[in-house]
Structure 1
Amino acid sequence: MLDKLKELSKLKELDKLKENITRRHLVIGGVALALILVLFFLMRSPPVSADFGAVDKGDLAIAVAGEGKTRVREIYTVSAPIAGRMERIRFEPGDPVTAEETVLARIEPADPLFLDVRSATQAKADVDAATASVALSRAKLSRAEAERAFARSELKRAEELFQKGNISSRALEKAQLEERMQGAEVDTARSDLGVALASLEAARARLIQPNDNKGNTGQTCCLAVRSPVSGQVLRVPDKSERVVAVGEALIEVGDPTDLEAVIDILSTDAVKVRPGDKAFIEQWGGGDPFAAVVSRVEPAGFTKISALGIEEQRVNVILAFTAPGDRWARLGDHYRVEARIIIREVKNTLRAPISALFRRGDQWAVFVVKRGRARERLVEIAARNDTHAAIKSGLEMGETVILHPGEKVRDGVRVRRRE
C-alpha cells in the first residue's frame, strides 16, 4: 500500500514538472516569435515613393521644334537714285507711310568736283575749240544757204527756157538735181552747227565749279524720294544729313501686319517637313500658342554653331500665320519665337507617358505597378513625342506605370504614390 502511494506521489510530481516545462516553452516560444516579428519589421525596407502615370488612349502628334524670328514678308529698302546731299530724315520707326505720297527723303544733286590747274586749262581750251567749231559751222551753213539760193534761181531759169524749147530735158533735170543737192548741203551744215553748239555747252559745263549755281533760285533744289508702298517705317540706318552715293540704302518700309516666321531646324528634321504641315507658334511672349502652316522649306542649308560649340547643319522653314491677326498683333519684325511643326499625327492610339520609358539593352521597358509592387515589362512603341509614346504591345489600357523611375525602383520592389 505504501509503495502504491509512493508511485502516485511520483506521478503527480512528474505531471507538475511536465506542466512547468510546457509553460516555460510556450513563454520562450512566444518571446522568440515576438522578437522575430520585431526584427522582420525593423529590417523590412519601406516602400519606394514614386510618381505614377496612367496608360490611356488619345491622339499623338509627332513634331519637330525650333527657334527663329518673325519678318515682314515684303520689305522695301529705299535707296538713293542720285548722288548728292541728303537732308536729315525726319521719320522714326513705326511712322505710317502712304505709297507714292509720303516723301521719305530729299536729295540735292551733288556739286561738281573742283578742277586743278591742268584740268581747268584743258577745259578752257576745249571751250575755245568748241567756239571756233561753232563759228566754222555757221560759216559753212551760210555758204550752203547761198549756194542753195543760187541753185534755185538756176532751176527757175531752166524751167522757163525749157518751156520755150531752148534747152533739153536733160539740162532741166540737171538743174533740179543741183537744187536738191544744195538743199541737202544746207541740212548737213545745220546738223554740224547743232553738234558744234552741243560740244560748246559740254565744254562750258566742264568749267563749272562748286557753288556756281547756288544763287539760281529758278532751279529746283532737291529730288523727292517717295515711299513705294503703304505701311510703316521699319528701320532708318542713319537719319543724319549727309552726302549719299547712288544706290545707298536710306530707309526700310513695309507692312508689319504681313508677317511670317523663319524657323531654323536641323537638316535631319527638315527632310520630314512638307509645305502645308500644321505648326504652332509658342514662347512668343504674348500668351497662348497660335496656329501657323508651313509655306516653304528652303532648299539650301547652312552651318550654325550650337551653344555647346558643335557645328550643325540647319535649314530655314518659313511659316505663314493662319490665326486671326488680333492674336499676334503685338508681334513685329525680327521678334524671337519658338515653333512646333507637326510632321505626323496618330489618332486614338494606346499611349503611355514618355517619362515612364527607359532603355533595357536595345529595347524599351517600363515599370508597371501591380499589387503595390513594381514589375518591369518590355514594351514596343510605334511613335513618340515630348510627352507620350504610342504603344504597340506590352501595356494595356488603364494600367499604372512609374514615371521617372530612379535607382531604387527595381523589379519586385514595393512602391507607393509620392504625396
Structure 2
Amino acid sequence: MKRLREKMPWLFAAVILIALLVYGYWPRPVLVDLAAVKRGSIAMTVDDDGETRIRERYRIAAPVTGKLLRLELHAGDRVERGTTELMQILPMDPALLDARTVAESQARLAAADAAIEESQSLLASAESAAQLAEDAYQRANALHKTKSIATSEWEEAEHDHRAAQANLRSAKFRSLVRNYERDIAKAALLKVSNFSETPTDLPFKIISPIDGAVLRVLQEDSSVVAAGTPILEIGDPRDLELQIDVLSNYAVAIEPGATVTIEHWGGPKPLHAKVRVVEPSAFLKVSALGVEEKRVRVIADFLEPWEERQTLGDGYRIEARITLRESDPQSLHVPAGAVFELAGKRYVFRSRANRVERVEVSIGDSNGRQTEIRSGLKEGDRIILHPPDTLREGDIIEAAPSSSQIDALN
C-alpha cells in the first residue's frame, strides 16, 4: 500500500500527460462559410462601366466672321427656344466684306435649304414609323391583357414603340435646328449684302433653337472669330441615354430590347433601361492595365421618368448590368465560389452531420456569382464556400458566424 502511494504522483502525472496528448491530437473543427442550395432563376449578364449622354446635343458656331461679344451664359444655365439670346457678334469692317464673303453666305443658305428638305423627309419617315409602332403596341397591349400573345412578343412591341418615339423626338429636334440654321444663314447673307460703307453698331444676335441648358462654353471672352468657330454647346438634360462600352465578344450576344440595370450611380435605388441599339462598328480602347481591347458601344434608354433620376447629368459614370437571358426559375443554384474542379470533374463540399462530404455535380449556366446545379444536390443542402486546399472529405467542420449573412445574400 505504501508502494502504491509512492507511485501515485507518477500515475497522476502520466494520466495528465496522456490527457494532454489526446487533447492535442484530437481533430478540431474547421471554421467554414456555409450556404444553402436554393431554387431560382440565374440572370446571365454582361457587367461593364458606362456613362450617360444627352441624346441630341447642338454645337452653336459663329455664323459670320466678326467680333464676338463676351458671353453672359455659363454651363448649366437654362435656355428657351426662340427667347434666350446665346451670343452677339459685331460684323467685320466693310473692307473685308468682299464678293467671296457674299458667295460663302449664299452657299451656306443653299446648304441650309437642302438640310431642311432632308430633315422634313426624315421627320415624315419618323412620324410614319412612330404611328405604325403605336398601332402595333396598342394591339399587342390588348392581346397581352387577355394572355393571347407571349410576354416576349409584348415586350418586343413595347421596345419598338419606345424606340420609335425616341427617333421621332430626335427628328423633331433635328428639324427645329435645321430651320434655325437656315434663319441664321439668311440673316447673315442679308447683313453681308446690305452692309454699307458706314456700318452700324448693331450686333448680330443668335437665339436658342431649343429648350434645354448650356452644356459647355467653348469661347467665353470677347474676341474676333471666324465663321464656323464653335462657341458653345446646348442640349436637353432631361433627354438622357446610356452608352455602355462592352467587349466585342460579349456584344454579339446582346440584342435590342435587353434589360439593363444601373447600379452605383449615386441614387437610393437601381435604375433600369432597355437596349435600343448595338452599334455595328467596334473601336480600340486601352484598359487600365494597358491591354488593347476591341469594344462596342451599346446604347440604351432609361425606363424611369426624369423625376426619379434628375440628379444625373451628361457624361456621368454608371455601372451597368445587361441581362442576356435567365435560367429556369425552378433550377437549383449555389454561389460560384463553392464549385471546384478536380481531374476534369466538378465537385462541391457538402456538410453532412458536421463532417465534409465531397459530391460530384453537373453544372449549367454561371454568371460569376451564381452557378446552376443540374444534378448532385438537392434544395436545402448546406455546401462549403471557398473551401481551403487543406480541407479533406471526412474533416469535422463548424459554421462561421458569417454564414447567416451569406445565406441572406445567396
The TM-score, its normalising length taken from structure 2, stands at 0.67
Aligned length: 297
Secondary structure in structure 2 of the residue aligned to 1:59 = coil
Taking the TM superposition and a 5 Å limit, the aligned residue runs for 1:171-186 are: none
Taking the TM superposition and a 5 Å limit, the aligned residue runs for 1:10-409 are: 39-111=21-93, 213=198, 216=199, 219=200, 221-346=202-327, 347-409=329-391
Query: Structure 1 vs Structure 2: percent identity of aligned residues?
Result: 39
Shift of 1:36: 6.0
Q: Aligned partner of 1:381: which letter? A: I
Separation in 1, partners of 2:22, 2:80:
88
List 4+ stretches of structure 1 deviating above 3 A: 28-41
CA distance 1:220–1:113, shift in 2 (3 Å): closer
Find the counterpart in structure 2 of residue 418 from structure 1: 400
Shift of 1:38: 5.5
Find the counterpart in structure 1 of residue 130 from structure 2: none
Separation in 2, partners of 1:327, 1:362:
49
- 1:136-168 CA-partner distances (Å, limit 9, x unpaired): xxxxxxxxxxxxxxxxxxxxxxxxxxxxxxxxx
Secondary structure in structure 2 of the residue aligned to 1:348 = coil
Structure whose alpha-carbon radius of gyration is higher: 1
Shift of 1:82: 0.9
Larger displacement relative to structure 2 (47-56 or 30-39): 30-39
Separation in 1, partners of 2:241, 2:29:
54
Secondary structure in structure 2 of the residue aligned to 1:293 = strand
Check the 8 A contact 2:275/2:300 in 1, yes or no: yes
Shift of 1:30: 12
Separation in 2, partners of 1:44, 1:295:
63
Q: Aligned partner of 1:108: which letter? A: L
Shift of 1:31: 10
Shift of 1:35: 6.9
Check the 8 A contact 1:303/1:311 in 2, yes or no: yes
- 1:72-99 CA-partner distances (Å, limit 9, x unpaired): 1100111111111111110011111111
Secondary structure in structure 1 of the residue aligned to 2:42 = strand
Separation in 2, partners of 1:86, 1:35:
98
Shift of 1:362: 3.0
Check the 8 A contact 2:90/2:201 in 1, yes or no: no
Q: Aligned partner of 1:313: which letter? A: K
Separation in 2, partners of 1:265, 1:63:
12
Secondary structure in structure 2 of the residue aligned to 1:42 = helix
Shift of 1:381: 1.3
Separation in 1, partners of 2:87, 2:336:
59
Check the 8 A contact 1:87/1:107 in 2, yes or no: yes
Unaligned runs of 5+ in 2: 1-9, 97-191, 402-410
Check the 8 A contact 2:94/2:197 in 1, yes or no: no
Separation in 2, partners of 1:362, 1:64:
27
Check the 8 A contact 2:51/2:244 in 1, yes or no: yes
Separation in 2, partners of 1:242, 1:361:
74
Unaligned runs of 5+ in 1: 1-27, 115-204
The TM-score, its normalising length taken from structure 1, stands at 0.66
Separation in 2, partners of 1:305, 1:358:
32
Separation in 2, partners of 1:46, 1:295:
58
Find the counterpart in structure 2 of residue 131 from structure 1: none
